[in-house]
Amino acid sequence: MPELPEVETIVRELRSQIIGKSVLDILEIRKGTVRYLPAATDIPCHFGMIRSIDRRGKYLVFRLVTDITIIIHLGMSGKLILADSKDTRPTHLRAQLALSDDSFLYFDDIRTFGHITVQRSQGPLFFEQRMGIEPLDPGFTAEYLQDRLRRRKSPLKNLLLDQSIVAGIGNIYGCEALYRAKIHPAVRAGSLESSHLKKLVKEIRAVLNEAIGHNGTTISNYRRVDNKTGGFQNFLKVYQKSCCPKGHPIDKLTQAGRSTYFCPVCQKKKQTDQIKTRPRIQTR
């Protein structure tokens, strides 16, 4: 799934290319991909000029000069491809935005978990109330985490991926940040000391900023708006690796249905600090 660095990369690239252009039409090719809030019986014939493009967690937010906001979530495998009208349409095209310069923003999604929401309001976004803090915001501190994780017995990794606590972190960067901070992914979230939380916040910021600098991580489906891959996959330390940078074998846990990669040597924790998980499977 595209996480914060991938979505941020797409936002920055689109800002430089389509702000100031108008959205003439949104064509839904796969039913259920595009929805309107509130439910619209009068779909606009002209949406308006794009005033700004921002990111909130894993969402892209297009604010138009009209009362319309277009919100895109890429799901597990979604891609946004900016193309001229003469270019070949993507294989798994689910929707497309027609722009005023005769170009198209294609929404390609092989697994069909992504969606586009057209919100007819410039007010709070429909998902805002359930979103946590941005990990690159100044307010994301060890004190904030300590407050949100206090008395929580769930595994730390699970809560880092909880978008109501921290918005934008997914499986790849959760694994990478925990390795850098030398914290076991199954430690009880509420048991961490302030020094560990400070280190974790520092490493979360660092890995996200580095990944943004390399235009995100392409493991399988993620592509930039020009259909090129990201580059941070070449700098991962544990995710889908057989050994960590120090040469220790990587182990894999299943946590909340996701594969967690970690180094049992570098991320060693007392047995009493850990949550019971499914048996570890050593990667080959």
* 258 in active site: yes
Question: What amino acid is encoded at 237 in this protein?
Answer: K
Per the structure, the count of domains in the chain is: 2
**Does 186 lie in the same domain as 102?**
no
On whether residue 22 sits in a domain, the answer given is yes
Distance CA 107, CA 105 (A): 7
pLDDT value of position 249: 98
Residue 119 belongs to what domain range?
4-130
- The one catalytic residue in 148, 258, 269, 280 is 258
> pLDDT, tens digit, for every residue of 83-97?
997 788 999 999 999
Distance CA 58, CA 206 (A): 18
Average pLDDT of the chain to the nearest whole number: 93
> pLDDT, tens digit, for every residue of 215-238?
999 999 999 999 999 999 999 999
> pLDDT, tens digit, for every residue of 107-157?
999 999 999 999 987 788 999 999 999 999 999 999 999 999 999 999 999
- The one catalytic residue in 6, 8, 55, 58 is 58
On whether residue 118 sits in a domain, the answer given is yes
Choosing from 101, 130, 159, the residue where a domain stops is: 130
Higher pLDDT, 203 or 274: 203
**Does 189 lie in the same domain as 101?**
no
SS3 of residue 45 by DSSP: coil
* 58 in active site: yes
pLDDT value of position 87: 80
Range from 131-135, 150-154, 169-173, 273-277 carrying the lowest mean pLDDT: 273-277
**Does 208 lie in the same domain as 186?**
yes
Choosing from 130, 165, 191, the residue where a domain stops is: 130
**Does 20 lie in the same domain as 114?**
yes
**Does 92 lie in the same domain as 37?**
yes
**Does 151 lie in the same domain as 48?**
no
**Does 183 lie in the same domain as 57?**
no
pLDDT at 270 over 70: no
Choosing from 130, 150, 185, the residue where a domain stops is: 130
**Does 77 lie in the same domain as 163?**
no
* 3 in active site: yes
**Does 153 lie in the same domain as 87?**
no
Q: Beta-carbon neighbour count of residue 84 at 10 Å?
A: 9
